[in-house]
Structures are given as C-alpha cells and as structure tokens.
Structure 1
Amino acid sequence: MSFEEKTLKSERIYEGKVVNLRVDTVELPQKKYSKREIVEHAGAVGILAVTEDQKIVLVKQFRKPIEETILEIPAGKLEAKENPAECAIRELSEETGYTTAKVKKLLEFYSSPGFTNEILHIYLAEDLQEGVAHPDEGEYVETLHMSLDDALEKIAKGEIKDAKTVIAVLAYKNMLNMI
C-alpha cells in the first residue's frame, strides 16, 4: 500500500521572516481527500559546544511561544543557501562568544514532521576559544556551563525539555560511550 499524498492544490496563507504557512489539499490513498496545514521553515542548527574542561555550553533565554525561560544549546535559523556547518560556527559565536575552527555533525532530524518541514542539524563544537557574545538585535541570552552528568540529570528531572537540546545531549553521551 502506498502512503503518499498527492498535492492537488497549495495555498500560501502567510509569509513571514521565520516561517511561512500554507494549506495543501491532498488526495489520500483510496481516493479520499484532506487538507494539510504546513509550516515552512528554512531549517536550523544546534551546537553542542564542549569546553576544554568538558563543560557543555548552554544558553538561557525566554521563549515567547511557551512563555518560559529555558535552557538550550546555542542554535539558530539557516539563512538562504547557508551551509549548516558555517551557520553553526556563526550562531555559536553570536550567542556565546565562543569560536572554533571546526565543527563535527552529530545528526539531523525533523522537529515535528506532522506540521512542519523544519530540519535541525546538530553539530559538536570543541577546541573552543572564548570571545564576546554578539546576539542578534532583540535576542537576550545568558551563557551557562554544565557537566554532561548535570545536563543528563536536568533532562531526567524535566528541567531541560527543549527537544534539540535533549537530542544533542543524548547523542553526545552515546558518542562518548562508543569511544
């Protein structure tokens, strides 16, 4: 059985700086029809940065959609045709001041494919050099450092619940276990 949905009509509802919204009319298997509300997103990167003393670099920031200040790895949206590794290096510097000459891709994943095409690329950054953060206008972040064990404990207690951060920390732990 084929699970594919054929798009019959696509209507752009909203075009924004970060996301676009469209409604697609689709033909389902067995000649049934439905509408799909789709959030289009250019994609993003997340950076699991590890200091020389093995501390994970996190940022604390307020997130309006959930009305909470949360802990997360540095991250940001890809610009048009931007290389994800270059975006990771740029975002790390902007949000934390740390720079590095190289990053290593850990994994990529879809944030929530039921309604968005957003893909997140997660990178590991090591060999960090300290610098001064220069966040985007309107972006307010505080940089924190935490051991892997403390981050895992905060995940277990529900104190870190940002998906990209949870995934990145667990992927990093898994990578270390394989060495």
Structure 2
Amino acid sequence: MDLEEKTIDQQTVFKGHVVDVELQHVKTPQGNIATREIVRHAPAIALLVIDDDQKMILEKQWRAPVQNITWEIPAGKLDERDHGDARHAAIRELNEETRLQAGELTKITAFYSSVGFCDEYLTLYQARNLKPVEHALPQDQDEDIKLYRFSLDEALKMIETGAIEDSKTIVAVYYWQAQTMAQKLKENHE
C-alpha cells in the first residue's frame, strides 16, 4: 500500500526568526484532498552533559509556547556559523550555554521532534570530561538560562513527578539510565 501524499500546492504563510509556516494542499493515497500546516525549523542539537561527579546539567528557563518554566538539557539550532555541521553546533552551544568544553563528545542519536506538524531534526550528543572554556562565546540575548546539576536518580524522579516534560530531555535521561545499567551489568560479569 502506497502511503505517500502528493503535494498539489504549497505556500509559505509566515516567515519568522525561529520558524517558517507552510500551508500545503495534498492528495492522499485514497484520492482525498487535505490541508497540511507545516512548521519549518532549522536542524538542532541537544546535549546530555555529565560532569565528573556523575551529575547532568539542566537548564531552567521560561518557555513562551507552554507559558511555563521548563527543565531542559542544553540545546540550540544550527545556524550559519555551523555550515550544516551538527557537531560544530554542539560544541558552540555547549560553550554559549554552559561555558564548558567537552573532552569527549559522542553522538547518541538523531530524531524528529514532532513529525505531525514540524520538520525539526534534532541530533543528541553526550558531553563528558568537561573543563571551562578558554574563550566564552556570547550568549543569545533573548535567553535567560539558569544552570543546575542533578544525579540520575534526581532526574528520573523529576520525570516521574512531571517536573521534566521536555521530550529531548526525557530521551537523554532515559539514555543515561540505560547506559548506566549496561555499565553495571558489564562490571558484574567481569
């Protein structure tokens, strides 16, 4: 069964600083005409930052779309400085948001943040062996970020209680949990 929709026409109805919105008319495989509203977003990165004390860095900040304060891992979109290189963006964002650099930066995975309406593609990295940067990059003027450190157990509890509701952060915490459990199993079998 062919599931691909055929685009009849498309029009950008909004161009913004962070997103563009596109309106599409499509023909479904069943022959029906449907309308699709699509948010276009630059590719982005996110960072599971774990320090030498086995604590992760979380940012506490206000998010206008949900009208609330959120707990999130450091993240940001690729821009012209990155030339399409997600790893470069991860190094830059780690500097800008935490004033740290990673001795070890490992790609965990990449995924679409919300495929029902948005094309944002997010690459998730793990940063370890941290040290302060020698040259701090300027932070975005529209961001007011506060940094905190939490253990794995504390982060899991924050998910359980609903304090962490951000999907990229939940993915990162559960990855960290799986990684920790795998390491313990390996140590038990040696």
Fold shared by both chains (TM-score > 0.5): yes
Partner of 1:87: 89
Matches within 5 A, 1:1-179: 1-80=1-80, 81-131=83-133, 134-179=138-183
Cα drift, residue 59 of structure 1: 0.8
2:53 partner amino acid: D
Alpha-carbon separation, structure 2, partners of 1:74 and 1:30: 43
Cα drift, residue 76 of structure 1: 0.4
Cα drift, residue 178 of structure 1: 2.4
Alpha-carbon separation, structure 1, partners of 2:87 and 2:177: 21
> Which of structure 1's runs of 4+ aligned residues deviate more than 4 A?
131-134
Alpha-carbon separation, structure 1, partners of 2:138 and 2:176: 26
Cα drift, residue 148 of structure 1: 0.8
TM-score, normalisation: structure 2: 0.89
Question: Contact 1:74–1:95 at 8 Å: present in 2 too?
Answer: yes
Cα drift, residue 135 of structure 1: 2.0
1:95 partner amino acid: E
Q: What are structure 1's unaligned runs of at least 5 residues?
A: none
Alpha-carbon separation, structure 2, partners of 1:149 and 1:133: 32
Cα drift, residue 155 of structure 1: 0.4
Cα drift, residue 177 of structure 1: 2.1
Cα drift, residue 134 of structure 1: 4.2
Change (3 A) 1:134 1:57: farther
2:176 partner amino acid: Y
Question: Contact 1:98–1:133 at 8 Å: present in 2 too?
Answer: no
**Identity rate of aligned residues, in percent?**
39
The more displaced of 37-46 and 74-83 is 74-83
Question: Contact 1:22–1:37 at 8 Å: present in 2 too?
Answer: yes
Per-residue deviation, residues 108-137 of structure 1 (Å, max 9, x unmatched)? 111110101111111000010035684211
Task: Tell me the secondary structure at the aligned position of residue 159 of structure 1.
Answer: coil
Question: Contact 1:97–1:134 at 8 Å: present in 2 too?
Answer: no
2:157 partner amino acid: E
Q: What are structure 2's unaligned runs of at least 5 residues?
A: 184-190
Q: Matched residue pairs, number?
A: 179
Task: Tell me the secondary structure at the aligned position of residue 130 of structure 2.
Answer: coil
TM-score, normalisation: structure 1: 0.95
